[in-house]
Copies of this chain bind each other. A is one copy, B any other.
């Protein structure tokens, strides 16, 4: 087994960049994962890591999982605790890291499925939480327009592995893509904080449908609202401004699939 004890090792420096730089991720079509749950979950979800790094301490804690992970990985290396600390985003690193190739994004939404579209979502924790809930509830996939990166370590952590399995579609023009979805028989609903919009509990969502969730502060852009055509709202008895984007997303997805 290869051993890496230097923080200035090139592989370690490149892996550290995958954690911190979106540019590095998309140039290499790779992302990095940290922690036992995320790394082992990726392998159980069919990923074959390009690189697996782990400390002896981690190996003695999870011997069977590490054996399986090493077998699934193209290359593996033992790392010192200094190297683990260098790679880690946490104060108490668990000591396991994986570099994986990004799966191709999905090309288009499939007929007969329900999608969530995210317009300009900026908080990685919100994005990850929505992807996680989407997978739990059985959403067909997520359409991401102008959002923070789903492969950002905070987003990966909040998604708890769901981003590795849920189909994701990257949109570079949400108005155009919504228009195309509608031409292909999808109903599109923009969720807005507006009492004049249709009550989301009164809608029966067709088999092929999309719900759009907007930016944390500014909501959905006017152009996207106009393209969607249907405005829906989550009516609340309480202090509506307290509902955060990931909770609004959870309720919207729940209503789509209820």
Q: Among A236, A238, A239, A258, which residue has the most Cβ atoms of chain B within 10 A?
A: A238
A237/B137 in contact, CB under 8 A = yes
- Interface size of A by Cβ–Cβ distance < 8 Å? 30
**Using Cβ atoms and an 8 Å threshold, which residues of chain B touch A161?**
242
Name the prevailing secondary structure of the A interface residues: helix
**Chain B residue at minimal CB-CB distance from A234:** B254
A136 at the interface (CB under 8 A from B): yes
A101 at the interface (CB under 8 A from B): no
Q: Per-residue CB proximity of A113-155 to B under 8 Å, as 1/0?
A: 0000000000000000100111111110000000000000000
Q: For window 202-258 of chain A, which residues contact chain B by CB distance below 8 Å?
A: 236-244, 246-247, 250-251, 254, 257-258
**Given A250-B250, A257-B237, residue A244 in contact with residue B132 (CB < 8 A):** yes
A162 at the interface (CB under 8 A from B): yes
A201 at the interface (CB under 8 A from B): yes
A36 at the interface (CB under 8 A from B): no
Bound-state Cα–Cα, A139 to B242, Å: 12
A238/B138 in contact, CB under 8 A = yes
Q: Among A136, A138, A237, which residue has the most Cβ atoms of chain B within 10 A?
A: A136
A160 at the interface (CB under 8 A from B): yes
**Given A129-B244, A160-B242, A162-B242, residue A136 in contact with residue B250 (CB < 8 A):** no
**Using Cβ atoms and an 8 Å threshold, which residues of chain B touch A201?**
258
Nearest CB in chain B: distance from A159 CB, A:
9
B251/A135 in contact, CB under 8 A = no
Bound-state Cα–Cα, A97 to B119, Å: 34
Point out residues on A near B: beta carbons under 8 Å. 129, 132-139, 160-162, 165, 201, 236-244, 246-247, 250-251, 254, 257-258
With A138-B237, A160-B244 given, name 10 new contacts (CB 8 A): A129-B244, A133-B243, A133-B244, A136-B240, A136-B242, A139-B238, A161-B242, A201-B258, A247-B247, A250-B250
Chain A to chain B: the 3 pairs with minimum beta-carbon distance, closest first:
A138-B237, A138-B238, A136-B243
